[in-house]
Amino acid sequence: MTWYIILLLVLLGLSGIGMIIFILMHSGKGTGISDMIASSMYSSQTGTSIIEKNLDRITIICAIVFMVALLALMILYPQGTISNG
């Protein structure tokens, strides 16, 4: 494997794990991890909205990195080009 394939695989794995973590941190109905963190840091609603906006941005960045890495790997290795040997 070449260095750019390894780099793309690492980016794919890290962004996938990041998406899982950051999606789980989103609050559902006031019971998310981000609400627990935000309630201990800020007592007003403006603090939680800033945290939610930043959490949204990080999740979107992870999703974009995931999709770019996935598309690059699909272009570099079309179906049937990876050998077993």
Enter the tokens of residue 39. Answer: 């309630």
pLDDT of residue 35: 61
Question: In this predicted model, what pLDDT tens digit does every residue of 25-46 receive, in sequence order?
Answer: 876 665 556 666 666 555 555 5
For the chain, how long is the longest CA-to-CA vector?
A: 59
Q: Are 57 and 10 in contact (CB under 8 A)?
A: no
0.75 cut: is pTM over it? Answer: no
Percent of the chain with pLDDT over 90: 40
Whether the predicted pLDDT of 4 surpasses 80: yes
In single-letter form, the type of residue at position 17 comes to I
| Residue 19 pLDDT class (50, 70, 90 cuts) | very high
Question: In this predicted model, what pLDDT tens digit does every residue of 54-74 receive, in sequence order?
Answer: 999 999 999 999 999 999 999
